[in-house]
Every structure is written in C-alpha cells, then in structure tokens.
Structure 1
Amino acid sequence: MCGRDWADPMLQPTQWAIDVADAGVAFARGDQEILAFTGVSLKALAGAFVVLIGPSGCGKSTLLRAIADLLPCTEGEVAVFGSEPARAREQRRISFVFQDATLLPWRSVIDNVRLPLQVGGWTGRQRPGRTPEELVELVGLKGREAALPHELSGGQRQRVSIARALVTNPDVLLMDEPFGALDEITRDRLNDELLRIWRETDTTIVFVTHSLTEAAFLGQSVVVMGAGPGRIIETIDLKPRKPDNRIDRNDPAFFAMTSDLRAVLERAYGSAA
C-alpha cells in the first residue's frame, strides 16, 4: 500500500502538495518480481511545477500513477496534501492528462469538458472553480464549443483534455507526455499556454517529458530518473536561474540549462546500461 494510516488524528497535513518517501512499485511476471522504481523520494510544494525526465522504462509514468492512486506502491509512502492518494482522488483533488487526449468522439468540445462533472453525480459544488465554458475560453477554444474531436487538430484536442482535467478545480495536475506526439511549433505554443494556465490556476503540476527543451522551459525543478530499476539520479532546481519561471527560448541561459540537463540525463542513461 502507498502511505500510512492517514486517518490517525496525530498525523496532520503538511505543507507539501506531494510527498513521496522511499516509494517503489513492483510487478509480478511469472515467478519474478520486476521493479518499476524503488527508493524514490520527492516533494512538491503547492503551486509548484515539477518536471520528470529520464530513459524509457525508468518508472516516470508509473510514479505518476502511484501519486494518482491508479497503482498501489509496494514499498514506501505517498501523500497528497498530507493524506493518502485515495482520499485526494475521491475528493477530485487530482486530475490526469495522458499523451492521448482520449476524448469521446461523439461528444462536442464542451460536452467532453463537462464529462467529469457528470460522472458519479458530481456537481462541482464540492470544489467550485471555473465553469466548462470558462475553461474552454481559458485554453483558447472559445467559439469551438460545438466542434467534435475529429474536427480539431491534435493540439486542439490536447487543449480540450487539459480543460476537462481542470473542470473539477484540482489541486494537483499530473501530465504524462501530453505534447509528445505534436510537432515542435505546436508543442512550443502549448508549453506557453500551459504556463499561462498554471499561473492563472495555481495548480501543482508534475509533468513527464522526454524533451530537454520542454523540461528546461516549463519546470521550476527537474527530477532526473535513471533505470534498472527506476530511481532518482538528481533533482535540479531551476528557480534561481529563472525566478518567475519565465525565460526566452533564445536566451543563452536557456541553452545553458538545456545543456546542463543533457549532461545529467546522459549519466542517467549510462546508469541504465
């Protein structure tokens, strides 16, 4: 199980939005136990933007799923705002954006965004936030509310998936390579939009990517994972180098950050060999 008995009244919520302590996830394969990751510890303050990078198979996506209570940990602890992940998930404090937008093809943009409010009788009164219409405007799709998914570009579909993830006003947004299948220019534009949305919503974001430039542009901190089994190699704090989490992609400092991340990532790949 992930976490301890958070119902214990002696255990109070912490300042951390996410607190992962010596966590690991293992899968059974016949008589063997395969470790996705082990001994992983990381913390994220409320409102932080944390990026995970590392070789394929190092457990980045599995870690997101453990935080989201989609997979159980087999060792260590995970807490979301001081409680077990299951409680945060039940309270709709966590939302997930996958690489594929996974929109229902027969529902319009606005109806796809409304879907989480309609599942399980959710009304939104428990966690008031922006309306579906406001979120469609927030992601830059005002005027396309009636469009069906097949009438949208890949980037537009991902905008809908982000709006849908935000409709329950989550405190934590987990994003698993959401822009990985897009062309570079579209990805850059959506990176700009994501930072704008993050500033407007003050949501805690944990973002998985294989792109070093994306990691350097988006993250306040970048967690580099290695494989065999998955583990954290290094955590790089970028806030001193871009205090307001803004940087021009043409700034030499941006290229320096990307180069530094590449050097750490090369060590991670070397550790997986």
Structure 2
Amino acid sequence: MAMDDVLLALSGVGFAYGDQTVLSGIDLACRRGQVVALMGPSGVGKTTLLSLVLGDTHPAEGQLACRAERLSVMFQDPRLLPWRSALDNVAFALKAQFASGRERVARAEVMLDAVGLPRASHRQFPHQLSGGMRQRVSLARALVIEPDLLLLDEPFDGLDVALVRQMQTLLLCRVADRGMAILMVTHDARHAAAMADRVLVLSEAPARIVASFDGGEDRTGPTCLALADRIEQALLSASRESP
C-alpha cells in the first residue's frame, strides 16, 4: 500500500476524559477507494474517534495524520439548518469553495437528484420533510463538496431497507468511481458487511481494537451474511470482554 494512498492513519492513539481512559492504542489506516467500518459496544468511544479525526479534540497519546484535502461528515442526526430549504442546505456546503451562487445551486440540485430526493421537495424546509428525506439531504450535503474522505456516524440508523440499499449503492459507486475513502461508525453488522472492505471491532472502554475482518466482493449474498454473523459474534465477545 503506497503511502500516497493513505488518507487517514492512526498509530497508538489514546484519549481520556479527565481520569477516564476512553481509547487506548488505536491503530488504523484508511486509504483511497477503501471503506473502513468501526464497530463496538455502545458508549465505548466510536464517535469520539470521529471527533479526533475532525480535529474537534486531540489525542492524549499517539499520532493521527489526516491527509484528506476535502473532509466531510454525515451524522445520524441530519443537523440541517432549519431556516434553509433542502436545496439551500446542500448549496451552503459549497460556500467555502468560492463557487458562484448559480454554480452552488446547480451542483446542489444534481446531488439531491442523485440521492433520490423528489424535485418537489428541493425547496421544502427540513420540518416539511420525512426523516428519510432529511437523511438524503444530509448525504447530499456531505457528498456535494466531492470529499476524498467521508466520515459516517450511524448514517443508516432507523431507515427502511430500500433507502439504506440506495444510499449504500450511491456511496460505493463514489468510492469505486472517484477513489473516495469512507470511515464509518455503525452498530449494525449487516451494514458493515455490505459496505466495508475492512471491519474493526472495539472492546469495552478503554476501547482498543480486538478483532478485524476483511470484506469481500459479495455485498448482498450468502458470503456477506456469513461475514455479518462473524462480526456479530465478535461484537458479543467484545461486549463481555473486560480490558
């Protein structure tokens, strides 16, 4: 693996809130065109790790190197601006790229079409949209800047199966066609097996990586289901394990 392909690298990363150690000795790498899924018991620090990558906080130990030129994030909560329409929420993400207003709107429309939001809903405000529609807008906002590294924090939680598959297909196409990398936090082994090239399982806090799995080409068939079962077993072991 060429170092130029590595967009994110963590080596021996640890983090603590006061006297409470949350993360310990975390090593992971995410390269162009790769999806890495991060799993573990609730509350062990998966979202904290994403915050470290975003630069919202800093490791207590170890090294973190993020080489992405364009970093984007999609949260479980869409976090849309309530006073802006769906179209304006997506277009707003392009302001930092100094694109013209017309170009921002055009690119936002294309991306909303790509995530399957009906044209009639482009001008609606978040409170007028269903939960699934808000998630589509959130995904469009994350993708419209054409990130080379995308962070996903439980992006499919509570969505119906058809919408999950549509969003996963779109994301995997971006990974394959554009070389985008994804670091995804999820609690659902099926989502990890369907999306990830590599799945990392964290122990109870202080969290460390206790299992890893390589994904396969089969994203929906028996091999994928078998992988999901293996991941589930690792998660059960991790939840019982005392570091």
Q: Do they superpose with TM above 0.5?
A: yes
Q: Offset of 1:168 from its aligned partner?
A: 2.2
Residues 75 and 155 in structure 2, CA contact (< 8 A), matched pair in contact too: yes
- Matched with 1:211 is 188
Counterpart of 2:116? 140
Corresponding position of 2:6: 16
CA distance, structure 1, for counterparts of residue 82 and residue 110 of structure 2: 22
Pairing 1:153-232 to 2, within 5 Å after superposition: 153-232=130-209
Q: 1:201 and 1:147 mapped to 2: Cα distance?
A: 30
Q: Classify 1:185/1:58 alpha carbon distance in 2 versus 1 (closer, same or farther; 3 Å).
A: same
Separation in 2, partners of 1:195, 1:156: 20
TM-score normalized by the length of structure 2 = 0.88
| Same amino acid, percent of matched pairs | 35
Q: Distance in 2 between matches of 1:171 and 1:64?
A: 16
Residue type of the alignment partner of 1:260: R
Q: Residues 140 and 197 (structure 1 numbering): CA distance in 2 closer, same or farther, change over 3 Å?
A: farther
1:67 alignment counterpart: 53
Compute the displacement of 1:124 (Å): 4.4
Match of 1:265 in 2: 235
Trace 1:53-64 onto structure 2 (pairs within 5 A). Answer: 53-64=39-50
Report which stretch shifted further, 184-193 or 213-222: 184-193
CA contact (8 A) 1:139 1:197 kept: no
- Alpha-carbon distance in structure 1 between the residues aligned to 2:206 and 2:153: 20
The letter of the residue matching 2:219 is: I
Is the alpha carbon distance of 1:168 and 1:252 closer, same or farther for their aligned partners in structure 2, counting shifts above 3 Å? closer
When residues 185 and 132 of structure 1 are mapped into structure 2, their CA distance, relative to the original with a 3 A threshold, is closer
| 1:7 counterpart residue number | none
- 2:115–2:167: 8 Å Cα contact kept in structure 1? no
Q: The residue matched to 1:256 in structure 2 has which SS?
A: helix
Aligned length: 237
C-alpha displacement of 1:142: 4.9
The 3 A distance-change label for structure 1 pair 162 and 24 is same
- Asked if structure 2 preserves the Cα contact closer than 8 Å seen for 1:155 and 1:190, the reply is no
Which runs of 5 or more residues in structure 1 are unaligned? 1-12, 82-87
1:253 counterpart = 2:242 = no
Question: Residue deviations 1:95-118, cap 9 Å, x none?
Answer: 111110011122111100011223
Aligned residue runs from structure 1 range 103-142, under 5 A: 103-118=80-95, 122-124=97-99, 131-142=107-118
Give the structure-1-normalised TM-score.
0.79
| Counterpart code for 2:228 | T
The alpha carbon displacement at 1:122 in A equals 4.0
CA shift in 2, pair 1:45/1:122, >3 Å: closer
Counting helix residues as a fraction of each chain, which structure ranks higher? 2
Matching residue of 1:37: 23
Contact kept in structure 1, 2:45 and 2:205, CA below 8 Å: no
Structure 1 residues 272 and 112 mapped into 2: Cα distance closer, same or farther (>3 Å)?
A: farther
1:151 to partner: Cα distance: 2.2
Q: Quick one: higher RCO (CA 8 Å, sep 6+), 1 or 2? A: 2
> Once the 2 structures are TM-superposed, how far is the Cα of residue 69 of structure 1 from its aligned partner?
0.9
Kept in 2, the 8 Å contact 1:59–1:227? The answer is no
Question: Structure 2 unaligned runs (5+)?
Answer: none
Partner of 2:210: 233
